[in-house]
Amino acid sequence: MIGLKRHTVRIVDYDPAWAARYREEARAIEEAMGALAIDVQHVGSTAVPDLAAKPILDIAVAVDAPRIIPEVVRRLVAIGYIDRGDAGRDGGYLLVRESEPEVRVVHLHLVCRDDDQWRNYLAFRDLLRGDPEIRAGYARLKRELAARFPNDRRNYTAGKEAFVRSALIQALSKG
């Protein structure tokens, strides 16, 4: 099952159906964006087999330049995404898809392809896919934080920052 009420935190076991749902969503995104989408990638924990995750797909979409973002947003809103605005260094320009009001199923991050954030999304995902020890440690941390902050996504996310930063340093040093 996919979807999580806004502001809440719930970690579930990996679901292979997430990959198929991503492919469906990516097709719709690519169709709506046309040539404006340089690359569409499944990122975040739902993109990592065997990793427990919040049941919300994270999709990163690379664009050529910030100036095209308003047109991209217009096209994505036309297919049902909700414009949440620029998250800046915390993840790019954010749009969300909801299955019902306040229940998020997709977080879509628009990022310029030459931005460090694009590289970080892919490097972190690939490290988790390739290193079972780091993946297991991340899963443990996420479950602990979810138990402490079931209704506080901000503190849940803040609790992961040191782990993610350390893992990114490791991933990028291999790169």
Per-domain residue ranges of the chain: 4-174
Per-residue model confidence (pLDDT) at position 145:
98
> Helix 116-130 to helix 132-148 angle, to the nearest 10 degrees?
110
CB 8 within 8 A of CB 150: yes
pLDDT band at 65 (very low <50, low <70, confident <90, very high): very high
What DSSP letter does each residue of 66-117 carry, written as one string?
GGGHHHHHHHHHHTT-EEEEE-GGGTSEEEEEEEETTEEEEEEEEEETTSHH
Whether the predicted pLDDT of 62 surpasses 70: yes
* DSSP reduced 3-state for 58: strand
Distance between CA atoms of residues 43 and 39, nearest Å: 12
Per-residue model confidence (pLDDT) at position 86:
86
Distance between CA atoms of residues 121 and 32, nearest Å: 22
Per-residue model confidence (pLDDT) at position 153:
94
Residue percentage of the chain with pLDDT more than 70: 97
Q: What is the dihedral of CA 156, 12, 97, 99, to 10 degrees?
A: -130
pLDDT band at 174 (very low <50, low <70, confident <90, very high): confident
What are 68-107's pLDDT values in tens digits?
999 999 999 999 999 999 876 666 799 999 999 999 999 9
What are 104-163's pLDDT values in tens digits?
999 999 999 999 999 999 999 999 999 999 999 999 999 999 999 999 999 999 999 999
Enter the tokens of residue 172.
């990028």
Per-residue model confidence (pLDDT) at position 96:
97
Enter the tokens of residue 68.
């095209």
- If phi over 0 gives left and psi between -120 and 50 gives alpha, with beta otherwise, what is residue 15? beta
Per-residue model confidence (pLDDT) at position 175:
63
| Residue 59 backbone phi and psi in degrees, to 5 | -125, 130
The CATH code of the domain at 4-174 is 3.30.460.10
Residue percentage of the chain with pLDDT more than 90: 92
Distance between CA atoms of residues 118 and 25, nearest Å: 19
Distance between CA atoms of residues 163 and 155, nearest Å: 14
